[in-house]
Structure 1
Amino acid sequence: MSEEGVAVRRARSMTRMRPAEYSRHDREQHALGYATEDERSGFEHDVDRILYSTQWRALAGKSQVVASAELGIYHTRLTHSVKVAQLGRRMAERFVREYGGPSPALVEAACLAHDIGHPPFGHTGERALRKAMDVIRGGPDPVDSFEGNAQNLRVLTYLAAHKTAKLRGLHLTRACLDASTKYPWQRGPADGDPERHTKWGVYAADRAAFDWVRDGRTGDVRPVEEEVMDWADDITYVCHDTEDFYRTGLIPLAALFPPPGGAGAESERELGRFLDYVEAKRSRLGRPFDRGAAAELLAEFGRWWIVPAPFGGRHADGVEVNTRTAKLIDYLTGGISLDVGGKDAIRYGARLVVPEEHRQLCELLKELLWCYVIERPALATQRHGKERIVSDLLVWTYESVDLLPPDRAEELDDHGDALRAAADHVSSLTEAQAIALHRRLSGASLGSVNDNVWI
């Protein structure tokens, strides 16, 4: 069957399988013969289907910032997604009390699904897959490649399995798929909008599914549930990942945010070093940076978010960390509101309003992770190794499609794109699976005939 025929068949199947739209009470009319006594709403079904999928479970073995096997109690993509979902639901519950929507279950489902397409080694693996696909194709593809957000939609609508063999994907509601799509466009050419070339939410092969999800909308406007999910993602990232690396001594929070009267020469040097990093980075990216305003914002933040000393591992230190994290979450969620304009506070009837100083502070706290952790030389050498593993696996699988597991081989018969099948396979692996499979295929360690490294 042609690619166009496959896409049309998938779009028709989704129309049969899923509720037409998000209603005020988010009730789903079940078309598959589910028991009538099942009182779950359509969005509660979405939550459960995501939680029970193998792709969501695999996030336990995928990086948030450092490798999932790194010694220490670091967040993985799974624990990150759980906390995004918890925070997103709490914000939605508050909005229901204040505005009558959006659905907390829908926001929770979108949060759970927002990273489900991430490959092993997080953004490092994502970049490696993109580069390797470009090399195989003989140059950068102007409209398609690998992108974790586009892979989310592919997992949810095509790769994942539910209860009906004839119809692929998790059979999620249109609203859930829409709310979990952070970049509602296809990849643009390299000489166009840089954001559209580096971040996008749908592959050409999944365009029919995307068009069904967007229901004829051609603009870039996003539903309010996606905006709540995205803000919950940002807050969780800066709060819990900063906490991880403060505990391990990599981010010097005690020097950056000392108690009143404790800001000596060392603290000033550390703050200057951090601001130098941010200024140089923004300059490279062609983005404006007001150093004075940033310093003032951090100083104001530090007046109430005080870090008295480096983490010492005592019970009292753990209490202080948890207290500061809670205060930061309260601050970043406390000033938000919805602009409903007289409409229902669901989907395209509302916009999330976040105070500008909250967004600016969040962006600065993200830079702490880049300055002190992600761009450390030790992590840079690890990135090189991770990229090599992912790139090699993609090339080897593409060149020998008999290495594909049975489900990916069946999909190759369905859509006929060997490179996409190889990318789907490699991106589905946990980091332990990717390392073991790379050692096996390279001959470094053959393992055992009983190994099932892709299951």
Structure 2
Amino acid sequence: MRPAEYSDDDLEQHARRRRVDDDGQRSAFEHDVDRLLYSTQWRALAGKSQVVASGELGAYHTRLTHSMKVAQLGRRMAERLERRYGGPNPALVEAACMAHDIGHPPFGHAGETALRATMDELRFSGGGLDSFEGNAQTLRVLTFLAAHKYPGHRGLHLTRACLDASVKYPWERAPRDQDPARHRKWGVYVADREAFAWIRDGREDTSVPVEEQLMDWADDVTYACHDVEDFYRTGLIPLAALFPAEGATGPETERETARFLAYVEAKRRAEGEEFDRGAALELLADIGKRLAVHAPYGGTHEDAVAVNRRTADLIAYFTRGIELEVGGPSAIRYGARLLVPGPLRAACDLLKELVWCYVIDRPALATQQHGKRRIVGELLRWTYESPQLLPYERAEELALHGDPLRAAADHVASLTEGQAVALHRKLSGTGLGSVSDNVWP
């Protein structure tokens, strides 16, 4: 059954000023999936970090493999809910999940931080507020920077519903003193205000459709489960100490548990949040029922099987209890709310903190991130100060919008990590390479 709130306008392929005929072989939302899959921006995610650098030795997730798993999980949850509630549309959820990280820059969080800090410094000096945000960049890629096959049209020509479901933060950046939360996270640049207004189609509130809610939960679960798996395999997260098999606790477990919870408590209190140590211990015990291990990862076939089994159990744990609260049969999109039990959300948040405690905030990665931020910040500054360094495509866009800082940010954000390192060496003079080298996207 198709939810009535998917209007004919949602289910057609459309651009801002033209309608595209469909050959009847795929639904409109299946077209969205395919257009994302074949975009150069999707392919570039293979060269961008999920947590550690994409070129790091080891079988770590990249932004591409992370996004693929988010899309797979989002679609499976949507299929389950569609059978029960008549929606949401699985292909639409899959497309939103595929799109959710497509605007992220090289070097993950470090690259995003560097772009924002450098843009803030340059933009604020001129009195501006707009800056860089990975989620807002996603909207810009989908509606302006990417190219499809239709002359005279910018972006991937996605449906309005797909674009709407891809926007996690449906607002522009707010001044820090007025709204600190919307100053830190936002999803729309001033330059993309018109496109965003078209997507929202008269809706002025900040609610998000249920497809975005599913995408967000699929993202959280995938991050929590697969990143913990990565760093258990490489010995960075001591699961054997934190979650010993058969409850075989001892001094090492007590020491690691105390260390981890002290880290989480300090972080939460620094962010102005309360922390209940007793509740956290109960959550860890519940997680341990699915994550308990006998020993550190040894690389045997048996170890690999056990890791995969635990990851599957965790994903089932986080997704089987979800439901929809639906206002009526014609209200699936904006009239539905994804219900995830509170303890599951809290457990997922706690599991993600393992990656921050044992990986992201460890000194070895912190030194790498310092270098990553320098590369990205200097590339942005140099390109802004010398627009002739822009590749042809970004130069054409600069001629359209006239904002050299935005054009420079669009360029740097589009680079893979290998391209960013190579370009930085060229521009800094530490490695000139060859005049025939092609470091453009």
TM-score (norm. length: structure 1) = 0.93
Tell me if 1:235 matches 2:221. Answer: yes
**What is residue 51 of structure 2 aligned with on the other side?**
65
Instruction: State the 1:137 CA deviation.
Output: 2.6
**What is residue 22 of structure 1 aligned with on the other side?**
6
1:212-259 per-residue CA deviation (whole Å, 9 max, x = no partner) reads 111111211110000000000000000100000000000001111112
**What is residue 256 of structure 2 aligned with on the other side?**
270
Q: Return closer, same or farther for 1:117/1:257 CA change in 2, 3 Å cut-off.
A: same
Matched-pair contact (CA < 8 Å) for 1:77–1:115: yes
**What is residue 314 of structure 2 aligned with on the other side?**
328
SS at match of 1:220: coil
**What is residue 428 of structure 1 aligned with on the other side?**
414
| C-alpha separation in 2, matches of 1:451 and 1:440 | 10
Tell me if 1:56 matches 2:18. Answer: no
**What is residue 174 of structure 1 aligned with on the other side?**
160
Q: Return closer, same or farther for 1:225/1:35 CA change in 2, 3 Å cut-off.
A: closer
Matched-pair contact (CA < 8 Å) for 2:114–2:377: yes
**What is residue 344 of structure 1 aligned with on the other side?**
330
Instruction: State the 1:36 CA deviation.
Output: 5.4
Letter in 1 for 2:6: Y
Instruction: State the 1:344 CA deviation.
Output: 3.1
For structure 1, which segment, 103-112 or 188-197, has the greater mean C-alpha deviation from structure 2 after superposition?
188-197
Instruction: State the 1:347 CA deviation.
Output: 1.5
Tell me if 1:40 matches 2:23. Answer: no
Tell me if 1:211 matches 2:197. Answer: yes
| C-alpha separation in 2, matches of 1:140 and 1:74 | 41
Q: Return closer, same or farther for 1:120/1:30 CA change in 2, 3 Å cut-off.
A: closer
**What is residue 15 of structure 1 aligned with on the other side?**
none
1:2-39 per-residue CA deviation (whole Å, 9 max, x = no partner) reads xxxxxxxxxxxxxxxxxxx8338964267878675432
**What is residue 293 of structure 1 aligned with on the other side?**
279
1:68-114 per-residue CA deviation (whole Å, 9 max, x = no partner) reads 00010100000000000000000000011100100000000000000
Q: Return closer, same or farther for 1:160/1:434 CA change in 2, 3 Å cut-off.
A: same
Q: Return closer, same or farther for 1:129/1:30 CA change in 2, 3 Å cut-off.
A: closer
Letter in 1 for 2:85: Y
Instruction: State the 1:425 CA deviation.
Output: 0.3
**What is residue 10 of structure 1 aligned with on the other side?**
none
Which one of the candidate residues 227, 230, 235 is aligned to 1:249?
Answer: 235
Instruction: State the 1:144 CA deviation.
Output: 1.2
1:27-52 per-residue CA deviation (whole Å, 9 max, x = no partner) reads 42678786754321110111111111
Letter in 2 for 1:370: W
**What is residue 105 of structure 1 aligned with on the other side?**
91
Instruction: State the 1:335 CA deviation.
Output: 0.6
Letter in 1 for 2:361: E
| C-alpha separation in 1, matches of 2:102 and 2:348 | 23
Instruction: State the 1:301 CA deviation.
Output: 2.5
Q: Return closer, same or farther for 1:36/1:427 CA change in 2, 3 Å cut-off.
A: closer
**What is residue 138 of structure 2 aligned with on the other side?**
152
Matched-pair contact (CA < 8 Å) for 2:325–2:337: yes
**What is residue 135 of structure 1 aligned with on the other side?**
121
Instruction: State the 1:303 CA deviation.
Output: 3.2
Instruction: State the 1:346 CA deviation.
Output: 2.8
**What is residue 161 of structure 1 aligned with on the other side?**
147
**What is residue 88 of structure 1 aligned with on the other side?**
74
Letter in 2 for 1:22: Y
**What is residue 378 of structure 1 aligned with on the other side?**
364
Tell me if 1:121 matches 2:107. Answer: yes
Instruction: State the 1:140 CA deviation.
Output: 9.5
The size of the alignment, in residue pairs, is: 435
Instruction: State the 1:365 CA deviation.
Output: 0.4
Q: Return closer, same or farther for 1:34/1:203 CA change in 2, 3 Å cut-off.
A: closer
Letter in 1 for 2:101: D
Matched-pair contact (CA < 8 Å) for 2:14–2:159: no
1:163-193 per-residue CA deviation (whole Å, 9 max, x = no partner) reads 1221111111110001010011110111122
| C-alpha separation in 1, matches of 2:14 and 2:266 | 55
Matched-pair contact (CA < 8 Å) for 1:150–1:201: yes
| C-alpha separation in 1, matches of 2:105 and 2:251 | 43
Tell me if 1:393 matches 2:379. Answer: yes
Matched-pair contact (CA < 8 Å) for 2:174–2:183: yes
Matched-pair contact (CA < 8 Å) for 2:123–2:130: no
Q: Return closer, same or farther for 1:269/1:402 CA change in 2, 3 Å cut-off.
A: same
Moved over 6 A (4+): 30-35
TM-score (norm. length: structure 2) = 0.95
| C-alpha separation in 2, matches of 1:340 and 1:101 | 10
Matched-pair contact (CA < 8 Å) for 1:43–1:106: yes
SS at match of 1:260: helix
| C-alpha separation in 2, matches of 1:300 and 1:443 | 54
Tell me if 1:368 matches 2:354. Answer: yes
**What is residue 169 of structure 2 aligned with on the other side?**
183
SS at match of 1:436: helix
Q: Percent identity?
A: 71
Instruction: State the 1:139 CA deviation.
Output: 4.6
Q: Return closer, same or farther for 1:152/1:304 CA change in 2, 3 Å cut-off.
A: closer
Structure 1: gaps (5+ residues): 1-20
Matched-pair contact (CA < 8 Å) for 1:99–1:345: no
Matched-pair contact (CA < 8 Å) for 2:11–2:159: no
Matched-pair contact (CA < 8 Å) for 1:63–1:76: yes
Matched-pair contact (CA < 8 Å) for 2:13–2:157: no
Instruction: State the 1:402 CA deviation.
Output: 0.5
1:355-397 per-residue CA deviation (whole Å, 9 max, x = no partner) reads 0000000010010000000001010000110000001100110
| C-alpha separation in 2, matches of 1:362 and 1:385 | 30
Matched-pair contact (CA < 8 Å) for 1:100–1:344: no
Letter in 2 for 1:230: D
Letter in 2 for 1:28: E
Instruction: State the 1:262 CA deviation.
Output: 1.0
SS at match of 2:324: strand
Which one of the candidate residues 295, 304, 312 is aligned to 1:309?
Answer: 295
SS at match of 1:303: helix
SS at match of 1:434: helix
Letter in 2 for 1:438: H
Instruction: State the 1:307 CA deviation.
Output: 1.5
**What is residue 225 of structure 1 aligned with on the other side?**
211
Letter in 2 for 1:23: S
